[in-house]
Structure 1
């Protein structure tokens, strides 16, 4: 028995209507990055983990209330990536100042700008950002 045109049309129509009405785009999964910020004079440090999606995080949001927060002032002299992926770019930012820290070749940052002396600085006006 040959299928009739009406039967074929009915089967095709049923198959088409069974498809989802809308297709959702593939969700991008961003890596998580962990950064340790250190006050090299006191030995105090704190760790924060962020998603490398380009979000800008105020330093007080990440480290306020931690061991490097002294009376509401976050002070540190260096930072180190402790969990990262190679193609990530992270930075501490304040106005036009950008202190980069990224990937396997550049996992350490001297925040005070003087490699000869560990001089903790006030980081309250800084932000931290990572992106792939």
Structure 2
């Protein structure tokens, strides 16, 4: 009889969000299962939680593989990250300045 192979385990992906204006940074680890995670649920009580407001200027993949794809999404505002050539993202989209972004309305998904 053929051997039964074990199920593939989901990768764990770690992402750091930083507020470059305050120097605060926090990292979270999520499974690479494609399920949306609400940013306030992930970062509540962390260094980037300012009295309930989750504020960041940049995000970076910390633990990932080349196949990793993650994105922050707030309706039509999508911020992509991937393990191949986009491991860092300026959240406001303006590389010259660090404009804080209110992240409470965002979800994070990774595969």
Q: What interval of TM-score do these two structures reach, taking the shorter chain for normalisation?
A: over 0.9
SS of equivalent to 1:55: coil
Q: Secondary structure at the match of 2:55?
A: strand
- Which structure's relative contact order is higher, taking Cα pairs within 8 Å and 6+ residues apart? 2
Q: Deviations over 1:67-86 (max 9, x none)?
A: 10001000000000010011
Q: Distance in 1 between matches of 2:19 and 2:72?
A: 15
Which residue of the other structure, out of 111, 114, 117, is the alignment partner of 2:97? 117
Aligned partner of 2:107 in structure 1 is 127
Between Structure 1 and Structure 2, whose CA radius of gyration is higher?
Answer: 1
CA RMSD of aligned residues (A): 1.5
Which residue of structure 1 aligns with residue 86 of structure 2?
Answer: 106
Q: How many residues align?
A: 109
Show structure 1 runs of 4+ deviating over 4 A. Answer: none
Distance 2:58 2:50 in 1: 16
| TM-score calculated relative to the size of structure 2 | 0.92
1:90 aligns with 2:70: yes
| Distance in 2 (alpha carbons) for counterparts of 1:98 and 1:123 | 12
2:21 aligned with 1:61, yes or no?
A: no
Structure 2: gaps of 5 or more residues: none
Deviation at 1:104, TM superposition (A): 3.4
> TM-score under structure 1 normalisation?
0.78
